[in-house]
Structure 1
Amino acid sequence: MYEDSYLTLHVSKDMNTSEVNLIIYAKQVDFIFVIIGYIVNPLGLLFNGILIFLITRKTPRSLKSFSILLLNFALCDFLSSLAGMLALQKTVFSGWSLTYIFHGICGRVSPYFCYFLHTFVCHCFAHSQWILMISFIYRYYILEKICPRPSKVAKICMLAYIPSFLFLGFYMFDVGNPSELKILVYDYHPQYYYNVLDVWGDLVISGNKNVWSIYTLGAIIYMTIPCFPIYAIIIYVRYKTLNILNSSGRILMSETTRQSHRQLMKALTIQAIVPMFWLTAASFYLLLLFQIVKGVIIENMLFRIMEVMPMITPLISMYFVRPYRLEVKSWFVPVPLLKPVIVSSMLLRQTTSNY
């Protein structure tokens, strides 16, 4: 209420009531999504921090190789949650310029640092796609052949990181001049009076001046197009793997081992559904770009949707990977020092000796 009165007091001389109400609404929406960002991202940090601890300290020998892939997920998600919490960007298209308003504390450093955080988050999400595909191929591979050494899996992950690393480097070269981008935002969105310091303060704005430049267009293509062939490969490999697990005579393995493989495949399958948040955000992104939809809710929603992914993914791994689930469960449900069977056995021997 105080903020609304303050806003009306300082700008009512230059604006009509509907304009003032629109700005109040925009500021309220921004505030709500900033709060959401400050809830989702710290949870992502917490859950991924726990998963990293479990992977490094509680992984049994049988899962050492697969844990390298899980560690890749956890590190990517941890760092993207950290960068997202520092940035808290809002996507604002200004003509063919891709501009971001940053509400996070990165603005205290510089607009260029905020832009780096933005590109870093995007490159983490892109790398996660490749690791997800490799995880499915890994589950299929170990059914047919010998489980690879952890060092070999680590080398594969490093090779898979090269495209995302190059994306990060090239995309960083296309950062626009913050002063020029501010003018574009002011000109293309006059209804919000972003240039009024008494209303918005000194906004931190960064981004790309032209979405059709070779670097920005290449970044957009890399962030959107590869997901389709990647998902096609995932669906195919999942089908082949489940066929092997469901045909009992093809490969000799105990039922316990078979169930373990099925559990891990179920975890990967659910994990493959999580990036639907990304596809949803990408769809809204394109709708915003071509001005099919507009509004402060969608502008704020894009990255908040994507930030849900690194919060959910570690929970899936902790639940479906049995050693991790049992470890976490033991933190909340104390394990008795003596198992009931042992206690019963001791009581029986004591009773027998008395006779």
Structure 2
Amino acid sequence: RMIRNRLTVLACMAVIVTLLAFAHGAPALAQGGSGRLVVYSAAPLDFAESLKRAFEALHPGTTVEIVNPGGAEAIIAKLAAERHNPQADVFHSGAVFEFLVAAKMGLLARTDPAVIAPDLPQALEIAGARIPLYDEEGRWYVWGFSLGVIGYNERRLEQLGLPVPRRWQDLADPRYRGQIVFNMPQQSSSAFNTLVAHYQMFGEEGVWELWDAIDRNIAFYTPSTGALYSLVARGEVPISFGTARNYYVNRAEGHAVNVVYPEEGAWVFATAVGIVEGAKNRELAEAFVRFVLSPEGQVHAANHFQNPIRKGIQATAHSVDLSVEYVENTVPKIVVVDSALAEEIREEVMRRFDRYTSR
């Protein structure tokens, strides 16, 4: 009887401890409000850290751990290696086509878009384009985008007496010989996307006629995507073309850099977020994705020079207008890169650029 009474007392104490734990913190955990959230993010560290601080402030008791193993491709490789024991809860940032790869590999969890993004349309219709904002199975959600543009150094072009190129076709003008730098599609996804977009704009014959002429004007091809922007920022080469975000960052740093949205079309580099299949903290992961897509999360995106997907969003950290409304009123045309076409022409693009870059 004495043993039975002791067991009864121990059981009662266990119940009391459990109730006290719930009274002091477990309700927040049950709501997805506290715990440890691991986010693999390919975003610039200052941006990822701003999301971390804001989310932790909204969810007291939560710790967000940001991990960047070296970009989106490295994240996918890491998620694949950890497939049987996932260490991350969220995959944040990276191009949509990279999320398509991750989803095809079974690395992203299915979610209900009606729960995660109930007030977002399935696509953003803007400047003649339809940008998908999530897939039907909710494995990825677009939180922002940047546009493929022509970037130039205002001061250097003025010194050279050259006009600002307004169209992709202007880059074929012999006046720009030796005044353009581009990165290598063999090593850069954004460079490859530029070529796919040009293929869509100019057709199979027109794209290579254009590129044979542009190639003659290119001073050199750089294997470094970062150099594409820094060379123009410093005025060492006056013209390059890439994603607008990077030029805006350089402009905010005081460089005489500006961008052109080409008349034939600016291509979309949409960036996404998704929950990792087998995430240990699924509820908190869903809360993080909802935050990234929320108006507050969108302001963070705009503050770091990403175009938001929601209307009415303005940056609070700088004066560059990246709003949906501005894009609608300013950009002549937007081209959404065709992922199926990209795979179809990949070998041809690589073959052509092996020839261009070996000269």
TM-score by length of 2: 0.25
Which protein has the bigger strand share? 2
Which protein has the bigger helix share? 1
